[in-house]
Copies of this chain bind each other. A is one copy, B any other.
């Protein structure tokens, strides 16, 4: 049995508690939160779980092997570092930290102590994104573009911009599904509430290849959209996360190129571009709840000292992009280079 404590019982914490309590190998021992009314709600549902407002109680329990941190982003680093220093493995909400320097320090600390650090990139545990990765890597050929729209009305955050709140999903999905790592990033955004962070943002990711990635995130949209287009030389994908069952559609469409006979008044050596419109295919997806698989994987990693799908370095890569995008946004959309990832691969 792996002893677990959950820190934070606000919006996401209850999902962690529910899923941990369904894993047979887990001994869910503690939930910690600063608001007593939340803890009262918990006690009613999970009378066997101990509650506290002081994280020290959790860390002091020798039967706790791991803590899951579901608190505001700006607290992630401190809480995770305290947990690691107390010898506990850590599962932390996305984004892992507010700076890449913090993320690096957590990774180093976990490495030093032989502890697991996992970051909650939930989407990469969905059947849809697992299939997305598979199709991208097997069927698409050269990847031309990755375009995501993730917009809806709310929830405005006070401490992070829409980019850190929503684009983090797209960045973690790309980190998982694509073979390539971005070389640079540029971003623009706007805040429409004085004194608050940006509520609309556009990110461009630049790669060494001809691949372009673009993300549109928006807290102030009239409708909810969760749609990603991925274009390749052989096939193309529409990933619509709001579709009830056909979330991934693979289109056997694209262009064909043939040398063209030059015509009067036209440039030489042009290619004749043809259009290929073939079948569409929507594969059946695994519908297991992502968070359940993810937490099971984390527990297995803690048991065996293995690496989770989204480890600290995955979290770090995503934060590096967000940091660079924030810098770009502050500089009118200038292109900001990302550090070469020799160490991070």
Contacts and interface: CB of A to CB of B under 8 A. Distances in A.
A188 B328 CA distance: 14
A202 B205 CA distance: 12
A190, A220, A282 pick with most chain B CB within 10 angstroms? A220
Q: Quick one: which of A45, A191, A212, A244 has the most chain B CB within 10 A? A: A212
Interface in A153-201: 153-154, 156, 158, 186, 188-196, 200
A332 B333 contact: no
B284 A278 contact: yes
A343 interface: no
A202 B200 contact: no
A316 to B, nearest CB: 25
A286 B206 CA distance: 39
Contacts of A233: 192
B282 A281 contact: yes
Identical copies in the complex:
4
B153 A253 contact: yes
Interface stretch (A81-89, A94-102, A265-273): A265-273
A301 interface: no
A55 to B, nearest CB: 14
Contacts of A270: 158, 195-196
A135 interface: no
A29 B152 CA distance: 42
Contact of A254 (B216, B220, B236, B284): B220
A216 B214 contact: yes
A50 interface: no
A2 interface: no
Interface string A244-288: 111001011111010000000011011101010111111110000
B255 A236 contact: no
A231 B221 contact: yes
A262 to B, nearest CB: 11
Nearest to A331: B335
A154 B267 CA distance: 20
Contact of A222 (B158, B236, B332): B236
- Closest CB pairs A-B (n = 7): A222-B236, A222-B251, A280-B282, A156-B273, A190-B212, A144-B192, A154-B275
